[in-house]
């Protein structure tokens, strides 16, 4: 596995991640790690005919999570190379099929892309968790969910509209369903783990979101779906989020 690190970060965590990844999997194309100075740069993988590119901030690349973040992105690259349906299906196409002829609130539409990424992450982490310990991932999920729950509004009247950059209760509930589904899918925690309390708190803050349904959908994703089956699943989960009773959709049309 060929890994090249470009930017102001030591290559060690990325090379360590590659060594660990190669114990069970391999990549045909080389990986270029682009370390960005912007601390807000999200970690993501780009795929090209002759290489993969792992984009990561210097802050993340020098953090204690650097190896685990790299492993996660290597797993996305592996799913892409194997043409897994989760990584070849166009999200734009699925959302068009889901909402053709309907007006969808911009906020909800943006959240649908995040939900689609969660589904990709489930499949990537099926690989990640086959080669790496889960302790750092579990701590990461718990801390992110705790921060989101703490950042929620103290009350949500029927006409509530977020005016700050804080957490949106609806997508926070879906994020919680995803986090819990991921750890349950791999049997990582006991029933008394704090993640359950955080997830249920997030669910209570979003009565219009069917938390249990999203949790079940994420957790039960088939290991190797056909393109048609995966498209149906993605269309279904998007409709569950946008068109569910009490979701408040349809107030502002998306372009």
Report the number of distinct structural domains present in the chain. Answer: 2
Within a 10 A sphere around the Cβ of 197, how many other Cβ atoms?
Answer: 13
C-alpha 208/C-alpha 233 separation (Å) is: 20
Measure CA 227 to chain center. 20
Q: What is the pTM of this model?
A: 0.90
Q: What per-residue confidence (pLDDT) applies to 40?
A: 87
Together in a domain, 31 and 93: no
* Residue-level pLDDT at 154: 53
Range of the domain at 148: 86-243
Q: Is residue 100 located within the same domain as residue 212?
A: yes
Whether residues 77 and 94 share a domain: the answer is no
Q: Indicate whether 94 belongs to any domain.
A: yes
Nearest to 188 by CA among 241, 249, 136: 136
Report pLDDT for 10.
Answer: 96
Q: 169-185 and 106-131 helices cross at what angle (nearest 10)?
A: 20
Residues 145, 215 share a domain? yes
| Per-residue confidence (pLDDT) for residue 21, from 0 to 100 | 97
Class of residue 210 by CB neighbours under 10 A (exposed 0-12, middle 13-18, buried 19+): buried
Q: Do 215 and 154 sit in the same domain of this protein?
A: yes
Q: What is the pLDDT, as a whole number, of residue 248?
A: 56
- Per-residue pLDDT at 82: 97
Residues 132, 208 within the same domain = yes
Say what angle helices 135-150 and 106-131 make with each other, to 10 degrees: 160
57 and 148 share one domain? no
* 59 shares its domain with 94: no
Short-list 113, 89, 87, CA closest to 99:
113
CATH code of residue 15: 3.30.2010
Chunked mean pLDDT (size 10), the chain, 255 residues: 95 98 97 94 95 97 96 98 98 97 95 98 97 94 93 52 59 97 96 96 95 97 98 98 72 39
For residue 247, the model assigns a pLDDT of 62
Count Cβ atoms within 10 A of the Cβ of residue 23 and give its class: 0-12 exposed, 13-18 middle, 19 or more buried: exposed
Q: Is residue 249 part of a domain?
A: no
Report the alpha-carbon distance of residue 121 to residue 76 in Å, rounded. Answer: 8
- The gap from C-alpha 4 to its chain's centroid, in whole angstroms, comes to 25
The verdict on 38 and 100 lying in the same domain is no
């Amino acid at each position: 596995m060929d890994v090249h690190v470009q930017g102001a970060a030591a290559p060690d965590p990325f090379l360590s991640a590659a060594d660990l990844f190669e114990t069970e999997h391999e990549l045909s194309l080389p990986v270029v790690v682009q370390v960005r100075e912007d601390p807000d740069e999200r970690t993501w993988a780009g795929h090209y005919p002759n290489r993969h590119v792992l984009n990561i901030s210097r802050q993340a690349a020098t953090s204690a999570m650097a190896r685990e973040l790299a492993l996660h992105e290597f797993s996305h690259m592996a799913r892409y190379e194997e043409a897994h349906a989760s990584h070849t299906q166009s999200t734009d196409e699925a959302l068009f099929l889901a909402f053709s002829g309907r007006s969808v609130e911009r906020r909800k539409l943006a959240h649908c892309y995040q939900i689609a990424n969660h589904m990709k992450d489930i499949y990537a982490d099926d690989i990640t968790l086959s080669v790496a310990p889960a302790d750092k991932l579990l701590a990461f999920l718990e801390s992110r969910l705790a921060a989101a729950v703490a950042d929620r509004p103290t009350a949500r009247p029927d006409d509530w509209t977020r005016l700050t950059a804080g957490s949106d209760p609806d997508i926070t509930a879906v994020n919680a369903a995803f986090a819990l589904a991921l750890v349950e899918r791999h049997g990582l925690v006991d029933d008394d783990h704090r993640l359950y309390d955080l997830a249920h708190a997030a669910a209570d803050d979003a009565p219009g979101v069917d938390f249990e349904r999203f949790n079940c959908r994420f957790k039960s994703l088939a290991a190797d779906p056909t393109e048609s089956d995966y498209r149906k699943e993605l269309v279904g989960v998007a409709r569950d989020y946008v068109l569910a009773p009490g979701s408040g959709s349809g107030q502002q049309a998306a372009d």
